[in-house]
Structure 1
Amino acid sequence: MTRRQRALLLRSLLCLFILNFLSLALYFLFHPSAAPSAAPLTPPRSTSSLKPWPSLPSFSPWNTIPWTPRGSCEAYFGNGFSRRIDALGSGGVGVGGWFRCFYSATLKSSICEGGRVMMNPSKIRMSEGGESLESVMGRSEEEEVPKFENGSFEIEGDGSEASGDDRRLVDEEFLDRYVPHGGVQFHTMRGLMESMRIVGPGELQCSQWIEEPTILVTRFEYANLFHTVTDWYSAYVSSRVTGSSSRPHLIFVDGHCKAPLEETWEALFSSVRYAKSFSTSVCFSHVILAPLGYETAMFKGLSEPFSCQGTSLNSLRESPEQQKTARLFEFGEMLRAAFDLPTDDGHPKKSSTTHNILFVRREDYLAHPRHHGKVQSRLTNEPEILAAVQNWAANNTKCSINVVNGLFAHMSIREQFRAIFDASVVVGAHGAGLTHLVSARSKSIVLEIISSQFRRPHFALISQWKGLEYHAINLAGSYARPEMVLDELGSIVRSLGC
């Protein structure tokens, strides 16, 4: 190439560079929103720390059902949250945050989620939460339940919202329609949403960003197993309905002390923290609000007349019925999988002539700051009944029967799940420990001993919703004659081939 040709090439490249520079300058002059910002609106995504969903044999997709019949078992126990209401934005890519709810006309409650949401813990009035039980003895329940000041939560708008001092995300009409009080007068999810205010683009003052999906849960009766299971179920359903590809992080928006049942929360979700453990404001790229456990079918079924029968997913696929459900099978498998326990009946079993009888017992224990450590007796001669069952089992010549002393108050949660799963027969007086039936085998048989003061349907219903064979002994008082219990138990064991 000659010197003249090289000079011509350099002049051409220089002209192209100047032309491109002027074009970009003119574009950003007339399109200022397209100019790169000095700093990213959110921090760059890091490697996910979320736990994957385990493989569940009974899993059925949650987000592919276009419409769920109102009042069906799927509407009660599965994805009946089929009406989507956008309160802000649409959840797509764009400027500002977004917020929407999925409403269930069957349960009369909503699962809500949003993006670019800030939590200001200093505006949530409640105790710190997560303390040891011994350090907070005597603390009142009022101190532990959250009360939200205006601005406890903020969400970024796109600048098109109406201006004013009180820029509420939702009004009373929205809340009455989609987050009604129902039987809960102090509705904390409703209070949280009432506190949420819209701020302008770039106005969120975040000390920390959490990029990965995070679910917010407020617990009430956190030390009672039945009510805690309804909270577990609500949080699980919320994660599935909102399409979380992995298990979300979880934050307790309450001030309860640390309790043994927290072990399951930690196993089910990717991490667990308390709202007050954040010393300054924290922002979420994706936050999920779970309904109260009182709003699940497991709780509403105690008073609402609906009939659902548990069945396997394969059976439901072969013969779909609106009054059957496999969702509690799925949930039970999720609970076991969270502790690396078997998820179905396909793992190696003991021989058909060997059976575990789990005797679920009630023991004195300290549950929360207002608990005196004594449980109310539902079976006054429980030790006598246990001894009679152990003696009867030792003298059974047809089968090998192992009686498990189910002192749940002195067992880890994992040990409790294992004992329930290994049981051919579950026996116990009416009490919260029987709630573990949600994770029992599909072929387990239940024998509930019910005193005259506690004739409540909790465990008959759970057995029905799981499709478990259920038997009950209704006492005239709280004393059970050993021969009466052994007669019923003997009949059950004979049905197993013994």
Structure 2
Amino acid sequence: MNRRTTLLVRTLLFLFLLNSFSLFIYFTHYHSSKPSSSSSSSSSSSSSLKVNTSLTPFSHQTHYSKPWPILPSYLPWLGNPTAPLRSCEAYFGNGFTGRRDLLHPRAGAGWFRCWRSDTLQSSVCEGGRLRMVPERITMAAGGESLTAVIGRREEEELPAFQNGAFEVDGGGFVDREFLVDREFLDRFVPRGEVTRHTMRDLIGKIRIVGGKDFECDEWIEEPTLLVTRFEYANLFHTVTDWYSAYVSSRVVGLPNRPHLIFVDGHCMAPLEETWKALFSSLKYAKNFSGSVCFRHAILSPLGYETALFKGLTEDIDCYGAPAQELWQNPDDHKTARLSEFGEMIRAAFGLPLNIHHGGKPFFGHNVLFVRREDYLAHPRHGGKVESRLSNEQEVFESLKSWVSSYKGCKIYLVNGLFAHMSMKDQVRAIQDASVIIGAHGAGLTHIVSALPNTVILEIISSQFRRPHFAYIARWKGLEYHAINLPGSHADPGTVIKELADIMKSLGC
């Protein structure tokens, strides 16, 4: 056998073993995540439960669900009950290891369980044969054009649930009216600082009904994610919702990207473009004219309960690191989860994942200046954004003049007018940038999609000294610089000097 044939045989053998290992991991996790046939309702790890292979929430797939993309920073999401309470995996990955089975399946009836994170004080809940009755949810229809609902109050857009707004099939044995009690809610879905905790209210109103009373006008066979948004027009808060939805999908081990239903009455917003890209489909709860039943529904926690939001008030001692490094040398103070999530956003838009910044590029460096502009965001918004940099245009023009006469490598100054760009183009601009400059504002949240060697330069006025983007940069392992202003006016020369130092560090 010649050398070329030997190499071919080894390659084929390696691919066969890799594929076999991947299938083993998938089916091991998939089967261990199915509902148990045990009648006990105590909290336990899924690995210690007997599997009922005759019951599966994925057994009637009828419509197309998008596959998960292959992400360079992906690490397995299998539960790790030994992870320390405040480890980075507990904050950003699968720290949902406390399990409570509230309804075990019996002979084709429904089931419901929750996975709790003691670190985040939050839960991911899921159930099968769950029925939604939209007429028992009081809220606006949702999904309307912004101009059609100007002036509508926020109270009209957030859901108010009547008893039985959601019901689960109890089969032939119903021993109580409601699925959960107050003690369970306080333990698994605590209200915390959220005044109106919609997911807690939803779970608290779920009724158990007998199988003969479980009738549906429509069935959804594919795994479906139920999400309630609050500050849906603000990028930072929407990213926390995206992250919570992504984590929920991974924690319960979905083999494909779930379909999505907004259980809120907010109008249509530009950020829906990313929701639609990330998940398989999108509908509003009030789009359904009658009762709708889910073969498998997942309830995503509020974005306020993610590490991205909690990190503003808690000291989350985590630093970004390459997934390959953590695979070989696990470290409780390092994470690749935000990098994985950023890759997920880029992949959802069909952007390449195999590119990276490094060294002196042949065609030069993109320097992205993220701008803030007046725009109409939601029905209660007057169309005016709060100025974070009073002389933004002056700073931009000064940078443009400096770049045009720079004697080092070629620099392209990109005018980041995000209010006039699609979400895909915004993410592409972030991906293509070697350096991202901007005043403190929600648009900088896009750095979750930045490449590993991207440098961040934030200009911070005295009124907005908040740690949002310094933390995101740290959790992603990005180089971060800040210019703290005494007011809201920046000296263009100071910004240019800071950028010049950064470009030199990039070998430019």
Q: TM-score, normalised by structure 1?
A: 0.89
**AA at the equivalent of 2:175:** A
Q: Give the conservation status (yes or no) of the 8 Å contact 2:356–2:453.
A: no
1:483 to 461, 486, 493: 493
1:212 to 199, 217, 222: 222
**AA at the equivalent of 1:75:** A
Whether 1:263 aligns to 2:273 is yes
2:350 to 340, 344, 347: 340
* Residues in 2 aligned to 1:266 and 1:196: alpha-carbon distance in whole angstroms: 28
Q: Identify the residue that residue 23 of structure 2 maps to in structure 1.
A: none
How far apart are residue 398 of structure 1 and its match? 1.3
Q: Identify the residue that residue 229 of structure 1 maps to in structure 2.
A: 239
Q: Identify the residue that residue 263 of structure 2 maps to in structure 1.
A: 253
What secondary structure is seen at the aligned counterpart in 1 of 2:211? coil
How far apart are residue 347 of structure 1 and its match? 9.6
* Residues in 2 aligned to 1:176 and 1:281: alpha-carbon distance in whole angstroms: 29
* Residues in 1 aligned to 2:358 and 2:219: alpha-carbon distance in whole angstroms: 46
How far apart are residue 185 of structure 1 and its match? 2.0
* Residues in 1 aligned to 2:182 and 2:427: alpha-carbon distance in whole angstroms: 43
Closer/same/farther in 2, CA of residues 274 and 340 from structure 1, 3 Å limit: same
- 1:147-185 CA deviation, whole Å, 9 max, x = no partner? 00001000011333325xxx0000000000000001102
Q: Give the conservation status (yes or no) of the 8 Å contact 1:148–1:191.
A: yes
What secondary structure is seen at the aligned counterpart in 2 of 1:299? helix
Q: Give the conservation status (yes or no) of the 8 Å contact 1:353–1:398.
A: no
Q: Identify the residue that residue 135 of structure 2 maps to in structure 1.
A: 122
2:97 to 79, 82, 87: 82
Q: Identify the residue that residue 22 of structure 1 maps to in structure 2.
A: none
* Residues in 1 aligned to 2:348 and 2:58: alpha-carbon distance in whole angstroms: 30
How far apart are residue 47 of structure 1 and its match? 3.5
* Residues in 2 aligned to 1:43 and 1:473: alpha-carbon distance in whole angstroms: 52
1:360 to 370, 376, 392: 370
Q: Give the conservation status (yes or no) of the 8 Å contact 1:247–1:270.
A: yes
1:456 to 439, 444, 466: 466
* Residues in 2 aligned to 1:84 and 1:275: alpha-carbon distance in whole angstroms: 28
What secondary structure is seen at the aligned counterpart in 2 of 1:127? coil
1:331-480 aligned at under 5 Å gives the runs 331-345=341-355, 351-352=361-362, 354-480=364-490
What secondary structure is seen at the aligned counterpart in 1 of 2:213? coil
* Residues in 2 aligned to 1:285 and 1:347: alpha-carbon distance in whole angstroms: 44
How far apart are residue 319 of structure 1 and its match? 2.3
How far apart are residue 95 of structure 1 and its match? 3.1
* Residues in 1 aligned to 2:148 and 2:205: alpha-carbon distance in whole angstroms: 31
How far apart are residue 52 of structure 1 and its match? 0.5
Whether 1:186 aligns to 2:201 is no
* Residues in 1 aligned to 2:411 and 2:356: alpha-carbon distance in whole angstroms: 22
Moved more, 402-411 or 339-348: 339-348
What secondary structure is seen at the aligned counterpart in 1 of 2:69? coil
Q: Give the conservation status (yes or no) of the 8 Å contact 2:371–2:416.
A: yes
Q: Give the conservation status (yes or no) of the 8 Å contact 1:67–1:82.
A: no
1:154 to 167, 173, 189: 167
How far apart are residue 66 of structure 1 and its match? 4.3
How far apart are residue 345 of structure 1 and its match? 2.8
Q: Give the conservation status (yes or no) of the 8 Å contact 1:43–1:209.
A: no
Q: Give the conservation status (yes or no) of the 8 Å contact 2:436–2:455.
A: yes
Closer/same/farther in 2, CA of residues 350 and 262 from structure 1, 3 Å limit: farther
Closer/same/farther in 2, CA of residues 344 and 308 from structure 1, 3 Å limit: farther
Q: Identify the residue that residue 7 of structure 1 maps to in structure 2.
A: none
> Mind listing any 5+ residue stretches in structure 2 that lack a counterpart?
1-56
**AA at the equivalent of 1:119:** M
Identity of aligned residues (%): 63
**AA at the equivalent of 1:458:** H
2:287 to 271, 277, 280: 277
CA RMSD of aligned residues (A): 1.7
What secondary structure is seen at the aligned counterpart in 2 of 1:79? coil
Q: Give the conservation status (yes or no) of the 8 Å contact 2:258–2:279.
A: yes
**AA at the equivalent of 2:499:** L
Q: Give the conservation status (yes or no) of the 8 Å contact 1:333–1:344.
A: no
Whether 1:242 aligns to 2:278 is no
- 1:90-111 CA deviation, whole Å, 9 max, x = no partner? 5xx7331000000000000000
Q: Identify the residue that residue 21 of structure 2 maps to in structure 1.
A: none
What secondary structure is seen at the aligned counterpart in 2 of 1:404? strand
Aligned length: 452
How far apart are residue 320 of structure 1 and its match? 1.5
- 1:288-332 CA deviation, whole Å, 9 max, x = no partner? 000000000000000011210011101212322101000001000
Q: Give the conservation status (yes or no) of the 8 Å contact 1:95–1:201.
A: no
- 1:450-495 CA deviation, whole Å, 9 max, x = no partner? 0000000000000000000000000000000111111111111110
How far apart are residue 353 of structure 1 and its match? 6.3
Q: Give the conservation status (yes or no) of the 8 Å contact 2:79–2:97.
A: no
1:309 to 319, 326, 339: 319
Whether 1:50 aligns to 2:60 is no
